Amino acid sequence: MRIRGLITVASLLTVICLALTLPLSAEKKSEPEQEMEIQGLGFDQLTQSPVVLLANKKKETMLPIWIGLCEARSIEIGLSGAVPVRPLTYDMVAAMVRSMNAEVKRIIITDLRDQVYYAQVEMSVGGKLSRIDARPSDAIALAARMESPIFVRNSVIEKSALIDSDVVQREL
């Protein structure tokens, strides 16, 4: 198990270093998006899984994203500002980003396909901007530690409305 953890850490370091050396490709036209904040964490009784609830500033748009138990706990710790005795994975990644004088500019929930959300972490180091693919739960856990803004593409909100219309009924 210890070797597996070391391999995971080494993989994370490799991905971060590689991503930071690649420039952000110029997009033809950026999609409209909304800045959102973590409104709270909940538990969906129907699916028996945690949910992170994002809301826009006016709290007129809500986006539930179903996540794993470990990720929910890590987001909760990041939001609370609690410092664990030993750093968790997201604490370690945040420390690595800071030690490289990099900055997590923002995270973006980019897509929803087959009821799976996709995200990117937008980072800046040495004036170069890069986007790294990530699971939304991982990106949100990192954003909570780095105090980075969270954005969601409008197309994701529109797609989500089609499958999440019963969220209020389930009292998430």
Q: Where are the domains of the chain?
A: 2-163
Greater confidence (123 vs 16) lies with: 123
CATH class of 2-163: alpha beta
Q: What are the pLDDT digits (tens) for 69-114?
A: 999 999 999 999 888 888 889 999 999 999 999 999 999 999 999 9
Averaged over 41-61, what is the pLDDT? 89
DSSP string computed for the chain: -HHHHHHHHHHHHHHHHHHHHSPPPPPSSPPPEEEEEEEEEEEETTTTEEEEEEEETTS--EEEEE--HHHHHHHHHHHHT---SS--HHHHHHHHHHHTTEEEEEEEEEEEETTEEEEEEEEEETTEEEEEEE-HHHHHHHHHHHT--EEEEHHHHHHHHHH-TTTTTTT-
